[in-house]
Chain A
């Protein structure tokens, strides 16, 4: 057997992960993906000589993860590209190439990913990004960024259009790169809580949950039911907050001021509930390895319940109104379509994938935390347009609020925070996946011989989904870009790391 079988929140020995030749691993991957597996991690670990490539694939229906690896000797600087057969690997291979210099031969779109500080080719400069060129008499380019018109993160978008029609959009990111991965493996892994929360502020809870669960798994700590419930509660609050923010922005982009302000004010109630719990509107400092820093007492629970019931009423009211307005629907429907086949091909994840009919949700496929006891059900829509992505956000927000209200009605008892820490299992690999507001977050840690973290690999859902935005605007007008962009509402800093 050339794959080690594992699952979400499980530690396996590094020795148990098979080592293949690059060509052998490629054949294995193609076979696995042909049976429905999809990549969740693909990264290199530098050895004293050469590089070991780790691949983790997810088998969603069986709730399994499979891992394998290949070793590249110092002299091996290329291998036949996997993307030519399985397009889902396109960005993973680009990232691997950028960081190690090992070239996937035949890769159709081998461009820099984020100009990371530790890139193999230090001479590569951002100013020389190799943009795709569309040529012709009536072709013109529109370049936007990195500094955008709104209060938003930086990124560069270049549209190649004839007239108003977009032929191709190239998204060039990396401006937010802060070098998080090397910082994670530098010094004690237990002191990284704040750093993990700073990866993406609007997914701070999802990231700190993935990080904490990973460390708890690797050390065998058992977190109480109460702490698990509070974490899940915070994660769902974060999800509702981001959906409200996206819907508010979408309404603004189609000139619906009522929707814009109402969704915006509704979000304030949600993030202020987080402030009530832990003193931060973004849930900073709430989750720590071993449990949670803040408990929810009876009085607070009653207050949260009242607020969230009110929020649910507000969401139903504004949702019914907004998604019945012809002015809004005419802009949302049939705009920026990503169909099921494309979504599957490029390996989309999260809420935007579900809007294209792709049934992927880590809460249901690879359940973690409280979802193992009290499951979350998958919701999907088929049309894959701006409407589907917006309506999905509305549906998910109402579902999440229902989940939250149920959860608050029966918070289990238990210890808030474990005082004792365990030791990381030496020479092991641990995987932790969480369904954040945008989709699956993957954290992978490799522990060395003395039980210290030697590599910490992160993957944000936006890593999978940025290319979907580029595809969604093909054939649309330049002026459709803002609503397409907002309907995806992707993270720049999560991608750039």
Chain B
């Protein structure tokens, strides 16, 4: 028993008091800043990008394809690309994820997710989500688990991961959707009662990521069903996830 008390004392306070204002480690690669004026149009960045997320002239990065590996920043001789540690990157529409040199990151966050009155009314105080990993590498899955741990403690907002789609208000998809998982993914969504939310978590879920050209991936699901929230990252940082959902709920 004394050991347990010692453990409790040692544990101390682990939670992040203000999740909305918390900042991520300065080394974290989040929202990129682009500079068209200094860009020498050498195309080195587009050549090294593993997912074709960058278009040059003018410079644009698709956050839905970007894996935040930072290879473009390292290869750029004119320092026209810089990844900041700004993490609030979730967006309600796919097009919003394509950012250029004019995009201001703070305005981006304000505009990217529009809280819908109906969603706020239905799920604002309690949102239960079911996770479906469809070809994910287990990094996004571990980060989604971390959202509920003692540090990030997403449950304090009434947002919870539940065991069955029947208990859920929506699903969180991770991974590029492998052919072998396509049926189970759709089946799980259909088991969630209406009205329901579809959340695409991570680069793979949003665009296929590094697997976008693989023959073993089947993304027809996204032609058929609308995604309510895109959360970029590789993997998604728990603070990106929680803040994205809070914006969606208008909180």
Contact = CB atoms under 8 A, between A and B. Distances in A.
Contacts of A341: none
A464 B52 CA distance: 35
A491 B25 contact: no
Q: How extensive is the interface on chain A, given as a class?
A: 35 or more
Interface stretch (A54-62, A190-198, A390-398): A190-198
Nearest to B85: A279
Interface string A75-118: 00000000000000000000000000000000000000011111
Interface in B12-37: 14, 25, 27-29
Contact of A153 (B6, B136, B209, B214): B136
A280 B180 CA distance: 29
Contact of A262 (B7, B176, B204): B7
A200 B178 contact: no
Contact of B8 (A178, A191, A258, A272): A258
Contact of B27 (A116, A149, A278): A278
Interface in B50-95: 50-51, 67-71, 74, 83
Contacts of B131: 150-152
A324 B3 contact: yes
Contact of B25 (A195, A199, A279, A313): A279
B25 A318 contact: no
A491 to B, nearest CB: 7
Nearest to A174: B180
A179 B217 contact: yes
A282 interface: yes
Contacts of A152: 131, 133, 141
Nearest to A293: B74
Nearest to A203: B138
Contact of B150 (A264, A284, A314): A264
B110 interface: no
Nearest to A261: B150
Contact of B50 (A195, A202, A245): A195
Contacts of B42: none
A45 interface: no
B181 A194 contact: no
Given A147-B184, A152-B133, A491-B138, A275 B27 contact: yes
A420 interface: no
A247 to B, nearest CB: 13
Contact of B210 (A198, A258, A276, A279): A198
Contacts of B164: 149
Contact of A183 (B3, B145, B214): B214
Contacts of B71: 194, 285
B210 A194 contact: yes
A116 B8 CA distance: 48
A176 interface: yes
B133 A191 contact: no
Given A152-B133, A154-B181, A264 B8 contact: no
A458 to B, nearest CB: 13
A493 to B, nearest CB: 5
Interface string A395-429: 00000000000000000000000000000000000
Best-surrounded residue of B7, B165, B211 (most CB of chain A within 10 A): B7
Interface of A: 114-118, 126, 146-147, 149-154, 174-179, 182-183, 191, 193-195, 198-202, 204, 245, 258, 261-262, 264-265, 268, 272, 275-282, 284-285, 293, 313-314, 317-318, 320-321, 324, 491-493, 496
Shortest beta-carbon contacts, A-B, top 7: A201-B139, A179-B216, A321-B3, A149-B163, A117-B216, A194-B50, A201-B137
Interface of B: 3-4, 6-8, 10-11, 14, 25, 27-29, 48, 50-51, 67-71, 74, 83, 130-146, 149-151, 161, 163-165, 175-176, 178-181, 184, 188, 204, 209-211, 213-217, 234-235, 237
